[in-house]
Chains A and B, each alone.
Chain A
Amino acid sequence: MIKEKKNTLTWTQLEFRLALIIFVALACVPLIIKQPYLIHIFIMALLYAYVAQCWNLLGGVAGQFSIGHIMYFGVGAYAAIFLFTKMSISPWIGMVFAGIMAAILGLFVSFLGLRYGLKGDYYALFTLALSQMLKLIVTNIKTLGGAMGIYIPLKGFSLVNMQFRTKIAYFYIALVMVVVITFIVYRIITTRIGMYFVALRENESAAEALGVDTTRYKTIATIISAVFTGMGGTLFAMYTMYIDPEITFGLGPNFEFILMAIIGGKGSLLGPVVGSLILKPLAEFTRAIFGGGRPGVFLMIYGALLATVILFLPNGLMGLLQRSYRQLSVSKQKVINQGIQEIDTTR
C-alpha cells in the first residue's frame, strides 16, 4: 500500500516536500552562521528567490514574457519609502500600499497589453520599454529624490519601523515572504486556476477554443505577480536603506532575478528558490575569489556560465531533476513489472 502511494507522488508534490525541507534548513541557518556578511548573502539570496518566484508565477507558470518585471519592484519600493520618509508611515502599511500601487500598474500593463493584443516578443519589448520609461520618469521627479535617490534614515529600531539592530530579523522576514509566495504558487499550480495558467502558456488559442477566459487569467496572473513583487521592493528598500532609479528600475537587477528563475527552472515550484540559493552565493564567492584580480574576470565567468547553463540545461536545474525523477520512476516501474513477470513465469 505504502509503496504504491510513493510511486504515485507527483513531481510537484515531491517538490513541495523538498521545499519544506529546504525552508526548515534555512530557518536554522542563523543558528549556525553568525557572520554579518554571510547572513547578508543569505538575505540577498532570499530576496532574489522571492522576486524570482513572483516572476515565475507570471513568466514561468503562465508563460507571459514580462521581461521588464522590475517595474513592479521599483514602484513598490518607491511607494512604501515615500510614505515612510515623508509621512513616517510604517513600512508594513507601506508594503500594502506598495502592493496596491504595483497592482494598479499590473492592471494598466495587462489592460494595454490585452487591449492591443500584444503577445510574445511584442509583449516582452513592451514591458521592457515601460520599465525603462518609468526609470527615466522617476529620475526626473524631484519629490522622489530624482537621480539622487532616497536615503532612508534610521528612525529607531522597532518592528513598526521595520528597522532592526540585527540582520537576522531581515533574514526571517525574507524567509517568511519566500515561504508564503512559494506556498501561494503551490496552491495555484495544484488547483484549477493553475491549469488555466499552464494552458495559457502552452497554447493560448487552443485554451481559448476550449472556453478558457484567457483575458481574465492573464490579468489575474499579472496582478498576483505584480502585487507580491511590489511588496518585495519594500523589503529590499528597507534592508538596503537607500534606493535610486538604477537600483530599483535598472536592467541589471531585472535580468539577474529573471536569470535566477530560468537557471533554477522556470515553471517549477522550487526552481527560482534553488536558482537564487545557488547562484547568489556562487556569485559572491566567485567575486571574492576573482574580484580582487583583474577587473572584468568575474562577470566574464558569470556571462559564460549563464550561456552554458542555457545551452545545456534549457529547463533549468529543476527541469534536470524532474527528468531524472521521471526516468527513475519509469525504471522502477520496469523493475516491478519485471518482478511480476518473473513471479508469473516461475509459477
Chain B
Amino acid sequence: MRKKWILAVLTILLVVVLVTASGCGQKSSESQDASKKISQSQGAGKDTNVIKIGAIYPLSGPTAQDGENQRKAHELAVEEINKAGGIKSLGGAKLQFVYADSQSKPEVGIAEAERLINQEKVVALMGTYESHVAMSVSEIAERYGIPIIIPNALADKLTERGLKYTFKTVIKTSDFGRDTGKFVREIGEKTGKVAKRAAILYGDFFFGHEVAEGWIKQLPQMGFEIVANVAYPVPATNMQEALLKVKQANPDVLFVLGNISEAVLTIKQLKELNYWPTYGVVGVGGGFSNPVFLQNTGQLAEGLFIANDWFPEINRAGSKEVNKKFKDKYGIDMTGNANTTYAATWVLADALERAGSTDGNKLREALANTDITSGPATFMYDRIKFDETGQNISAQNVIAQVQGGKPMVVWPDKYKIADPKWPVPGWDKR
C-alpha cells in the first residue's frame, strides 16, 4: 500500500521532470528567438533613445566599496558622454548602465549576466572587478555573442583563453613583475646603486600567487637573483616571521604584495624589527595604493615605492582635470581602478560610435579595430589598441614614491612629477 503510494508519486515526478526538461530546451530557445524579434522590432523606435549596457560588480560584501567606486566611474563617464550628445552615429542615443551585484561569487555573476542579457537586453557588458567572477562572466558573454570590456580585473588568464568577445583595457597581473623589475634596474643603472639580490613577499591567496609568478618568471631575466621567496598567511596576525625570513636572506630590494591589512602590518613591523633592505622596498597591490594605507602608516611609509597603473600625482595630460571632476563629484580621489573603468567607458562609447549599431557582432568588430590616441581615455593610456587576445597593448604600471605623505610618480620619466630618492635610507638614518 505504502510502496504503491511512493511509486505513484515518483513516477509522476519523473514524468514532470522529463516533460519539462525536454520541453524547456525548445521552449527557451523559441522564447529567446521571439524576444529577440520583439526587441528588434521595438528597436527601430526605441534603440535610438537609449543603449543599455550591463555592469556587474560586487555591490554587497567585503569588496562592496570597490564595486561602488567602479559604479561612480561609469556614472561620471556616462554623464559626460550623454551631455556631449550621446552616440551620434545612432541618432544621438544615450548610454544607460544597468548594474548588477555579483556578491563576489562567480555563480551569481553568471546568473546576473544572463538576466542582463536576456531581460535587460544590454548590448555589452562591463566589469567585474574580481578576476574569478570575470572568468565566468566572460564565458557567458561569449556564449551569447555580447562583447565584454574588463577595465578592472587583472588576471592574465582572462585574455589567454581564445575568447572572441572579451576585451581588457587594464594591465595584466604579470605586468607588475615586469614593471617593478624594470624600474629597479633602471634606477640602479642611473644612480650606480644596482640592486641584485631581490626578495619577494606575498600573501597566500589568488592575486598574491599570480603576482609572485610574474616576479619569479621575470626578475631573473632582468639580472636579479631571488634570494628569498616568502608567502605569508592571509589574514595575517603577524608578519614578523615573514620579515625575519627576508632579513635572513639580506636582499638589496624587497618586492612586497599585500592587501590593506597585511600592507599596513608589513611597514609597521619592518620598523618594529628595525629592519630595512639595503636599497628599498617596492609595494604592489590594492593594499599599498589604497589611500587608507597612508592614513594607517603615516610617517613610516615615507620613501616607499608603490606600483600601480595610475596615481593622482602624475604628469600626464588630462589626469589632473579628470581627477578633479571625480573628486568634486564624489569627494574622493579616482583611485582603486575607478580611473581605468572611467577610461574604458569612453572606449566603449568610441566603439559604439564607429559600429553605428548595437548588434553584438558589429560592436565586437568595432572594438577589435579600436585605435584611440586622443580624447578623454588617454589620461590613462597613451594609446588604446587591442591585440588578437583582446588585451590592451599599451597598458603599463607607473611607480610612485611616498614623498611628504603623498605618492608622487617617479617612473617612467615622461610621467614623473618628482625625482626618486634612491637608495632609501634605513630607519636610523632618517
Q: Do chains A and B touch in the complex (CB under 8 A)?
A: yes
For the complex formed, measure the closest distance between the CB of A139 and the CB atoms of chain B, giving whole angstroms: 6
A244 touches B111 (CB 8 A): no
B125-149: CB near A (< 8 Å → 1, else 0) gives 0000000100110010001000000
Whether B9 pairs with A242 at a CB distance below 8 angstroms is no
Is A148 a contact partner of B210 (Cβ separation < 8 A)? yes
Interface residue ranges of A169-186 to B (CB < 8 Å) = 169, 172, 175-176, 179
- Would you give the shortest CB distance from A41 to chain B, in whole angstroms? 8
Q: Which residue of A lies closest to B18 (CB)?
A: A172
Selected from B24, B31, B64, B132, the residue in CB contact (under 8 A) with A242 is B132
The answer to the question of B42 belonging to the interface, with a C-beta cut-off of 8 Å to chain A, is no
Query: Quick one: which of A23, A147, A151, A179 contacts B157, CB cutoff 8 A?
Result: A151
- B308 within 8 A of partner (CB): no
Contact B107 A240 (CB under 8 A): yes
Encode A135-165 as 1/0 by CB contact (under 8 A) with B.
0100110000011110101100000000001
Determine the distance from Cα of A209 to Cα of B427 in the docked complex, in whole angstroms. Answer: 70
The yes or no answer to B59 lying at the interface (CB within 8 A) is yes
Least CB separation from B136: chain A residue: A241
- B98-116 near A? 1/0 per residue, CB < 8 Å: 0001010111101110110
Q: Output the nearest chain B residue to A17 by Cβ-Cβ distance.
A: B5
How many A residues face the partner with a CB closer than 8 A? 43
Contact A27 B118 (CB under 8 A): no
CA–CA, A34 and B32, complex, Å: 11
B13 contacts the other chain (CB 8 A): yes
Contacts of B292 in A (CB 8 A): none
Question: Which residue of chain B lies nearest to A297 when distances are taken between CB atoms in the complex?
Answer: B60
> B23 — nearest CB in chain A belongs to which residue?
A31
The reply to whether B204 and A140 contact each other, CB–CB distance below 8 Å, is yes
Docked Cα-Cα span, A295 to B233, in Å, equals 26
In the assembled complex, A116 has its CB within 8 A of some CB on chain B: no
Residues of chain B contacted by A244 (CB below 8 angstroms): 132, 206
Q: In residues 55-101 of chain B, which contact A (Cβ within 8 Å)?
A: 59-61, 64-65, 101
CB of A65 closer than 8 Å to a CB of B: no
Q: Tell me, yes or no, whether B16 is within 8 Å of chain A by CB.
A: yes
B407 — which chain A residues lie within 8 A by C-beta? none
Of the residues B20, B107, B110, B114, contact of A31 by C-beta under 8 Å: B20
Interface contact A24-B59, CB-CB below 8 Å = no
**Does B274 count as interface, using CB distance less than 8 angstroms?**
no
> B205 — which chain A residues lie within 8 A by C-beta?
147
Q: Is the CB of B107 within 8 A of A23?
A: no
Give which listed residue, B9, B108, B209, B233, contacts A24 with CB less than 8 A.
B9
Q: Which residues of B contact A295 (CB under 8 A)?
A: 60-61, 64-65
Contact with B along A16-40 (1 / 0, CB 8 A): 0000100110011011001111011
Give every chain A residue within 8 A of B209 (Cβ-Cβ).
Answer: 146-148
Known contacts A36-B115, A241-B110; A172/B157 CB under 8 A: no
Chain B residues within 8 Å of A148, by CB: 206, 209-210
Q: Does B21 contact A (CB under 8 A)?
A: yes
Closest 8 CB pairs of A and B: A291-B60, A40-B111, A36-B114, A240-B107, A242-B106, A20-B9, A27-B16, A37-B111
Given A169-B21, A242-B106, A291-B59: 14 more A-B contacts, CB < 8 Å? A23-B9, A36-B115, A44-B107, A147-B209, A148-B206, A149-B206, A153-B161, A166-B25, A168-B21, A168-B24, A175-B17, A241-B135, A287-B103, A291-B101
A interface residues, Cβ below 8 angstroms from B: 20, 23-24, 27-28, 30-31, 34-37, 39-40, 44, 136, 139-140, 146-149, 151, 153-154, 165-169, 172, 175-176, 179, 239-242, 244, 287, 291-292, 295, 298
Q: Can you give 10 A-B contacts (C-beta < 8 A)?
A: A34-B31, A36-B111, A39-B111, A136-B233, A139-B204, A146-B209, A153-B161, A166-B28, A167-B111, A295-B64
Chain B residues within 8 Å of A, Cβ to Cβ:
6, 9, 12-13, 16-17, 20-21, 24-25, 28, 31, 59-61, 64-65, 101, 103, 105-108, 110-112, 114-115, 118-119, 132, 135-136, 139, 143, 157, 161, 204-206, 208-210, 233
